[in-house]
């Protein structure tokens, strides 16, 4: 029983694609005799012809991935695309190093744990990139007896 014409008319009436038109297989004889748009509209009203729901794309997998990345996973060597300097710029790395050093030096100077002359020397050394971290600077001060 060929009902391709009815299916085409129904898709036009329902304003969807031919594949989204569902026709009740038990009422095919009624559908076969429907030849006008009005006949098709009547069948739609009776529920013999129905417009199927659109197929969407599930975002479940994307949400799961995002959640894992938020936890800090999936960030290994194989997942990285930009260069090291693109992911965290050199300037930002420098800022993250120098600010704590200068803050620590300021605190030590205010507490009078170091002299002003050694403060100036250490400040310049820090500016020159002599210290990797606060701990590294502390070790240097201990080795050179700069702490009071």
Residue 94 lies in a domain: yes
CA 57 to chain centre: 17
Provide the domain limits for residue 40.
4-51
Q: What is the pLDDT of residues 39-75, one digit of tens each?
A: 999 999 999 999 999 999 999 999 999 999 999 999 9
CA-closest candidate to residue 10, choices 19, 2, 21, 1: 21
CATH number where 96 lies: 1.10.1200.60
| CA 48/CA 117 separation, integer angstroms | 93
Picking from 37, 62, 41, the residue whose alpha carbon sits closest to that of residue 51 is 41
Return the SS3 of 19. Answer: helix
In a domain, 68, yes or no: no
Quick count: other Cβ atoms within 10 Å of Cβ 86?
A: 9
Q: What is the pLDDT of residues 68-96, one digit of tens each?
A: 999 999 999 999 999 989 999 999 999 99
The alpha-helical segments, DSSP class H, found in 57-89 are: 60-71, 84-87
CATH number at residue 35: 1.10.1650.10
pLDDT in tens, 118-131: 999 999 999 999 99
């Amino acid at each position: 029983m060929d009902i391709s014409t009815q299916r085409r008319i129904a898709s036009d009436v329902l304003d969807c694609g031919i594949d989204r038109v569902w026709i009740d297989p038990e009422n095919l004889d009624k559908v076969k005799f429907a030849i006008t748009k009005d006949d098709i509209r009547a069948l739609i009203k009776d529920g013999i012809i129905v417009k199927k729901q659109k197929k969407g794309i599930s975002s479940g997998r994307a949400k799961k991935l995002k959640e894992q990345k938020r936890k800090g996973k999936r960030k290994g060597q194989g997942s990285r695309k930009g260069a090291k300097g693109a992911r965290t710029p050199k300037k930002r790395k420098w800022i993250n190093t120098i600010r704590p050093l200068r803050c620590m030096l300021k605190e030590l100077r205010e507490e009078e744990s170091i002299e002003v002359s050694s403060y100036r020397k250490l400040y310049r050394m820090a500016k020159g990139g002599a210290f990797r971290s606060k701990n590294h600077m502390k070790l240097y001060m201990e080795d050179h007896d700069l702490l009071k």
